[in-house]
Chain A
Amino acid sequence: MSVTAAPASTGARRARWRAAVVGWAFLAPLLLLNALVVLGPSVATVYYSFTDWSGLGPATFIGFDNYVKAFGDAKVHEALWHNLVWFVLFLSVPMAMGLLGAYLLSQVKRGQMLFRALYFIPYVIASVVNAAVWKMLLSPTSGVLAQLGIDQSWLGDTRTSLLSVNFVVDWHWWGFLAVIFLSAMQGVDPELYDAAKMDGASAWQQYRSVTLPGIRPTMVFIVLMTVIWSLKAFDYIFIMTQGGPAGSSEVVSTLMYKQAFNEYSAGYAAALGLSMTLVTAVILAFYQWMRKKGWEDA
Chain B
Amino acid sequence: MSAATLEKPVTVQDKKAPARRKKTKAHYYLILIVLALFAVGPLVAVVFNAFKNNAEIGSNPLAPPTSFSLENFTEAWTRGDFATTMRNSLIICLGSVAGTCVIAGLAAFALSQLKVPGGGAVVAYLFLGSALPVQLFLVPLFFLWTQLHLTDNLFGLILIYWATDAPFATLLLRSFLLKIPKDFTEAARLDGASSFQIAWKVVLPLAWPGFLTVALIVALWSWNEFFWAITFIHTPELRPVSTSFLAFQDQYSTDWGLTSAAAIFMLGPVLLLFLVLQRKFVSGLTSGGVK
User: Are the chains A and B members of one assembly?
Assistant: yes
A23 to B114, Cβ gap below 8 A?
Answer: yes
Q: Chain B contacts of A23 at CB under 8 A?
A: 110, 114-117, 119
- Complex Cα distance A266/B160, Å? 20
- Complex Cα distance A136/B49, Å? 10
Q: Which of A1-45 contact B (CB under 8 A)?
A: 19-20, 22-24, 26-27, 29-31, 33-34, 36-42, 44-45
A29 to B139, Cβ gap below 8 A?
Answer: no
- Complex Cα distance A290/B34, Å? 38
B133 to A280, Cβ gap below 8 A?
Answer: yes
Question: B159 touches which one: A37, A122, A235, A266 (CB < 8 A)?
Answer: A37
Question: B116 touches which one: A24, A45, A126 (CB < 8 A)?
Answer: A24
- Complex Cα distance A38/B134, Å? 8
Q: Chain A contacts of B137 at CB under 8 A?
A: 37-42, 44-45
A29 to B136, Cβ gap below 8 A?
Answer: no
Min CB gap A245→B, angstroms: 16
Interface size class of A (residues with CB under 8 A): 35 or more
B39 to A119, Cβ gap below 8 A?
Answer: yes
B62 to A176, Cβ gap below 8 A?
Answer: no
B25 to A108, Cβ gap below 8 A?
Answer: yes
Which of B64-72, B73-81, B280-288 forms part of the interface with chain A? Answer: B280-288
B133 to A27, Cβ gap below 8 A?
Answer: no
- Complex Cα distance A136/B62, Å? 11
A273 to B133, Cβ gap below 8 A?
Answer: yes
Q: Chain B contacts of A41 at CB under 8 A?
A: 136-141, 144
B170 to A30, Cβ gap below 8 A?
Answer: yes
A253 to B135, Cβ gap below 8 A?
Answer: yes
Question: B28 touches which one: A107, A175, A253 (CB < 8 A)?
Answer: A107
**Given A34-B166, A41-B141: A125 and B282 within 8 A (CB)?**
no
Question: B271 touches which one: A100, A121, A225, A273 (CB < 8 A)?
Answer: A121
- Complex Cα distance A232/B8, Å? 52
Is A216 located at the chain interface by the 8 A CB criterion?
no
Q: Chain B contacts of A171 at CB under 8 A?
A: 38-39, 42
A269 to B103, Cβ gap below 8 A?
Answer: no
Name the residue of chain B whose CB is nearest to the CB of A238: B227
Is A205 located at the chain interface by the 8 A CB criterion?
no
Name the residue of chain A whose CB is nearest to the CB of B231: A261
Name the residue of chain B whose CB is nearest to the CB of A118: B36
Min CB gap A157→B, angstroms: 17
Q: Which of B234-291 contact A (CB under 8 A)?
A: 242-243, 245-246, 249, 253, 256, 259-260, 263, 266-267, 270-271, 274-275, 278, 281-282, 285-286, 290
Question: B35 touches which one: A37, A119, A197 (CB < 8 A)?
Answer: A119
Min CB gap B6→A, angstroms: 12
Name the residue of chain A whose CB is nearest to the CB of B195: A22
Min CB gap B234→A, angstroms: 11
Min CB gap A234→B, angstroms: 7
B8 to A197, Cβ gap below 8 A?
Answer: yes
A198 to B132, Cβ gap below 8 A?
Answer: no
Q: Chain A contacts of B138 at CB under 8 A?
A: 41, 257, 260, 273
Name the residue of chain B whose CB is nearest to the CB of A30: B107
Name the residue of chain B whose CB is nearest to the CB of A260: B139
Q: Mark B156-193, 1 if CB is under 8 A from A, else 0.
A: 00011011101100100000000000000000000000
A127 to B136, Cβ gap below 8 A?
Answer: no
- Complex Cα distance A40/B102, Å? 22
Is B32 located at the chain interface by the 8 A CB criterion?
yes
A129 to B135, Cβ gap below 8 A?
Answer: no
| Given pairs A27-B110, A27-B122, A120-B282, 18 additional interface contacts (CB within 8 A) | A23-B117, A26-B116, A30-B103, A41-B136, A42-B136, A55-B142, A117-B282, A120-B274, A120-B281, A128-B226, A133-B45, A143-B61, A171-B38, A183-B286, A273-B133, A273-B135, A276-B136, A280-B133
Going nearest first, the 9 A-B pairs with the smallest beta carbon separation are A23-B116, A37-B163, A26-B110, A273-B135, A41-B137, A44-B140, A126-B224, A41-B140, A30-B107
Contact sample, A vs B, 10 pairs, CB 8 Å cutoff: A26-B106, A26-B109, A40-B140, A42-B132, A48-B140, A124-B270, A128-B242, A132-B249, A261-B231, A276-B133
- Give the B-binding residues of A (Cβ under 8 A): 19-20, 22-24, 26-27, 29-31, 33-34, 36-42, 44-45, 48, 55-56, 97, 100-101, 104-105, 107-108, 111, 113, 115-129, 132-137, 142-144, 147, 171, 175-176, 179-180, 183, 194, 197-198, 200, 203, 225, 228, 231-232, 234-235, 238-239, 253, 256-257, 260-261, 266, 269-270, 272-274, 276-277, 280, 284
